[in-house]
Structure 1
Amino acid sequence: MSLTTMIKEDAIPFLEYPSPNRNDKTRKQCLIFFITGNPGLAAYYIPFLTTLRQLLNERESNPSSNQAHHIYSRNLLGFSDHDHTPTFGTTYTTPSGETLTTHPFTLEDQIQSITSTLLTLNTPTSFSSIILVGHSVGAYIATEIFHRFHLSLSPSLLLTSAILLFPTLTNIADSPSGQKLNLIRTTPFLNTYTHHLAKSIVSLLPTFVLRSVLTNIMRFPPHALNATLEFLQSKDGIWQAIHMGKDEMATITEEKWSEELWQLQHDSQGQGGEKFYFYFAKKDHWVADEVRDAFIEKRQGDKRGRTKVTICEENIPHAFCLRHSETVAEKVRVWIEEITG
């Protein structure tokens, strides 16, 4: 974690949709942990998670069901002014006389923090299975967490499967939007001042103007409007998003995971469904077509791999959480049913 920015774990905003059968001892308790994209506000996904909860309630109401599915999601670090102290850019002197400046959180910070939350959630309940669902860079975080527990000889989390929505897993800087963000990262002036410029412009606009732009021009639905206003008007949200985005360009490059990651472990042979589900857009401004196609070809060439790849045929955009939550929730429900049996 950042050495100069203190995390306030109990102040990280979260969403929780527990199973109505959470106290039924005869059922297997399954945690579905959703990891957001960037900007990392869980509020963007309220319609998606609410719909998924309703669909899983229907499944659990079936007399033959022996599962209880718990849904949990939380903000990524730095997107709430309450989850860290002091604000980014604060300079102070330590008792030893060293001058330090606080900085936004990196992608590695996010991976460690999500892992810590998973371990905390698992302590009182001890879930019989955990399904990670990740969107965009959240898919990368989910995959990296799987990788780290895959290497552990005695994993403390029973990670079952991962459902990766519009995943940015390799060479993100080759995508159309990635090229623009990478230009900012590699241009000294832009790298240093872009977040200041962006924040200055937003700060000049009254709330009613921002609301009008988001509603009438960008056509954001109410949940996305509220989340975006919260994000833009926070002290550190814009800096965190840009800083993390630049770190993604430097970190998410060539595939670094071994083929064994995509295969079932010996103690997971009774698992239903696949280990990894990939849901790609037909056209995605954060995923270059050739990068996606090369990744899919590699997965299909792995005869021992337990992966399923779907390319969206409904032209759902990368930011599905704005207007296509219900459609994607239906697909995720099907994959969860395959996994849990």
Structure 2
Amino acid sequence: MSSYLNKQPPPPPPPRAAHAPPAPPPTASSSLAPPQPRRGHRHAQSVHYNDAPDLDFSQHRQPAAAKRDRASSRVSSSGSTPPARDSASPAPMVPAAPPEGSLPTYQPPPPPPLEPTLERRLGPRIGEFRFPADVLSFKQIDPAVPLKLLLLFVPGNPGIVHYYRAFLEALRDALPPDLRVATEMSIIGHLRHTPDAKDDRGYKPTDQPTLEEQVIDKVTYIELLAVQHKLGREGSPKLVVLGHSLGSWIALQLFKHVPQHITAMHALFPAFSHLATTPNARRLGRVLSPWSLRPLYLTSSAISYLPTSVSARLVRTLGGISDLGADATLAFVQSPEAVLASLVTAQQELAQITDLETDVLERYGDRVWIYWAAEGVDGWTTEEAIRECEEVLERAFGEEGRKRRKRCVEGMPHAFVLNEAHTASLARKCAGWIVDDLSALESKDSKTEETAAASENEQDDEKKDTA
């Protein structure tokens, strides 16, 4: 350590001469020397694409001269005079103005559908009485469009129209847009199946409409539609009747009275025949007996005095009703007169819906679409009744009518309207059937027009030959 500290610093470098000789040229290994070509490799100077005016990598790229012109124009805008453009240089690209009328006119979207309106109408006079019935109407979305389609839904028992509101809305949404805005729909309830009715109250089991009177009421309503919309005339809308359960049987009876007004009928889980032999009828036999009417009427009266929250909880718990039909069911069970009317109608169903309407199916079955439940799922029909109906339609229409009969593979129950998924699925199926029928009618009408035109031409030719 002491030897290191005592060591003297190195001497300074000698002074530089005034005229030093020039530095030797760099050697080949120096980094300042230009790269030497390797053996066997020809060196070529790289060319950037901006320096090559002949290169064009895009059909929209302009040559380098045009780029220089654009740069000159920018410089000239600052105060100098722009140079004269060469005649060979392309003119600057200026977007041409669109020709007048080329832009499509703005089409506003159709207005949203109106809320359905509930009307309590009086049916036809039957003896001394005119019984009330509910009608839930869905007006046309765009009244400026000519009306093309009328949908009339006939519900099952108890016939509460609000049960089927979601189904008809889904059916309308499933139609093609041009047909959707030109469709009007309605649900017609059964006579005296009117919740919240304030008039004619009391326990009156004998003062109830019969099944025949229920059919007459629907016939009267269709006749009113026929007068209002001029059904059957050229350009008039087509009427499609949809029926569920008991409503399918009533819709089938309509062919006896107004077949000229009905384009097609959809029977959804129909109760066409032998209703008393079904599993549900046997299970509910005691409930539907005459002595049980008064206790059930009094029970409904007691429920109507309960708070709404308590009644709603009872309906959801005891009845297993989903939110889709809970409100309609609550309004029904709180109306003793509507409950009584529904029970009397059920008694009449078991007593009168026995034999199959074979003659009606043989004559009008080509206008009927039938949707049966899967085997063992629907408690309001039997496999024997389904087989009997299928045999009649098979004899009458064969392969042509076979495509109009469907069997459910989704496990839908008889009360399909209480499930939103089943409601939407069956609505899409019905929309497809409607489109098929209307397309077939249009094709038939066009062929008829062609045949008529050909016949007129033949008659004109015969007249010319005779002359």
Q: TM-score, normalised by structure 1?
A: 0.79
Residue equivalent to 1:166: 269
Residue equivalent to 2:152: 33
Residue type at the aligned position of 1:338: D
Residue equivalent to 2:194: 80
Aligned counterparts of 1:259 and 1:45: Cα–Cα separation in 2: 26
Q: Classify 1:181/1:88 alpha carbon distance in 2 versus 1 (closer, same or farther; 3 Å).
A: farther
Find the partner of 1:202 among 289, 297, 300.
Answer: 300
Q: CA deviation at 1:312?
A: 0.4
Aligned counterparts of 1:105 and 1:298: Cα–Cα separation in 2: 31
Q: Which moved more, 1:304-313 or 1:110-119?
A: 304-313
Aligned counterparts of 1:254 and 1:88: Cα–Cα separation in 2: 34
Residue type at the aligned position of 2:188: R
Asked if the contact 1:7–1:83 (Cα under 8 Å) also holds between the matched residues in 2, the reply is no
Alignment of 1:246-285 (within 5 A): 246-258=347-359, 261-263=362-364, 274-282=366-374, 283-285=377-379
Alignment of 1:149-228 (within 5 A): 149-150=258-259, 155=260, 158-182=261-285, 190-191=289-290, 193-205=291-303, 206=306, 207-228=308-329
Q: Classify 1:124/1:218 alpha carbon distance in 2 versus 1 (closer, same or farther; 3 Å).
A: same
Q: Classify 1:210/1:85 alpha carbon distance in 2 versus 1 (closer, same or farther; 3 Å).
A: closer
Find the partner of 1:140 among 246, 249, 252.
Answer: 249
Find the partner of 2:168 among 36, 49, 70.
Answer: 49
Partner SS for 2:397: coil
Matched, 1:296 2:296: no
Matched, 1:23 2:144: yes
Q: CA deviation at 1:294?
A: 2.1
Q: Classify 1:251/1:41 alpha carbon distance in 2 versus 1 (closer, same or farther; 3 Å).
A: same
Residues 261-313 of structure 1 deviation map (CA, whole Å, 9 limit, x = unaligned): 5448xxxxxxxxx5100001012100012211221122122237746211101
Residue equivalent to 1:110: 214
Alignment of 1:58-77 (within 5 A): 59-61=176-178, 68-77=182-191
Q: Classify 1:23/1:83 alpha carbon distance in 2 versus 1 (closer, same or farther; 3 Å).
A: farther
Residue type at the aligned position of 1:170: S
Residue equivalent to 1:337: 435
Matched, 1:315 2:404: no
Asked if the contact 1:111–1:144 (Cα under 8 Å) also holds between the matched residues in 2, the reply is yes
Aligned counterparts of 1:131 and 1:176: Cα–Cα separation in 2: 31
Residues 149-200 of structure 1 deviation map (CA, whole Å, 9 limit, x = unaligned): 34xxxx4xx2111000000011111111122455666xxxx31x31211122
Residue type at the aligned position of 1:68: A
Partner SS for 1:31: strand
Aligned counterparts of 1:84 and 1:2: Cα–Cα separation in 2: 21
Q: Which moved more, 1:223-232 or 1:80-89?
A: 80-89
Q: CA deviation at 1:218?
A: 3.7
Partner SS for 1:34: strand
Q: CA deviation at 1:222?
A: 2.9
Q: Classify 1:4/1:236 alpha carbon distance in 2 versus 1 (closer, same or farther; 3 Å).
A: farther
Aligned counterparts of 1:230 and 1:13: Cα–Cα separation in 2: 13
Aligned counterparts of 1:34 and 1:241: Cα–Cα separation in 2: 18
Q: CA deviation at 1:223?
A: 3.9
Aligned counterparts of 1:260 and 1:330: Cα–Cα separation in 2: 25
Larger Rg, first or second structure (1 or 2): 2
Aligned counterparts of 2:437 and 2:171: Cα–Cα separation in 1: 15
Q: CA deviation at 1:47?
A: 1.0
Aligned counterparts of 1:16 and 1:319: Cα–Cα separation in 2: 22
Aligned counterparts of 1:226 and 1:5: Cα–Cα separation in 2: 30
Q: Which moved more, 1:73-82 or 1:108-117?
A: 73-82
Aligned counterparts of 1:309 and 1:202: Cα–Cα separation in 2: 39
Identical residues among aligned pairs (%): 23
Residue type at the aligned position of 2:177: E
Aligned counterparts of 2:158 and 2:229: Cα–Cα separation in 1: 30
Q: Classify 1:67/1:204 alpha carbon distance in 2 versus 1 (closer, same or farther; 3 Å).
A: closer
Q: TM-score, normalised by structure 2?
A: 0.59
Structure 2: runs of 5 or more not aligned: 1-124, 440-467
Q: CA deviation at 1:133?
A: 0.3
Partner SS for 2:263: strand
Residue type at the aligned position of 2:412: I
Matched, 1:123 2:219: no
Asked if the contact 1:7–1:84 (Cα under 8 Å) also holds between the matched residues in 2, the reply is no
Asked if the contact 1:4–1:102 (Cα under 8 Å) also holds between the matched residues in 2, the reply is no
More strand by share: 1
Residue type at the aligned position of 2:333: L
Partner SS for 1:87: coil
Q: CA deviation at 1:214?
A: 2.2
Residue type at the aligned position of 1:3: G
Residue type at the aligned position of 2:329: T
Aligned counterparts of 2:361 and 2:156: Cα–Cα separation in 1: 26
- C-alpha RMSD of the superposition: 2.6
Q: Classify 1:89/1:66 alpha carbon distance in 2 versus 1 (closer, same or farther; 3 Å).
A: closer
Q: CA deviation at 1:203?
A: 3.2
Q: CA deviation at 1:250?
A: 1.4
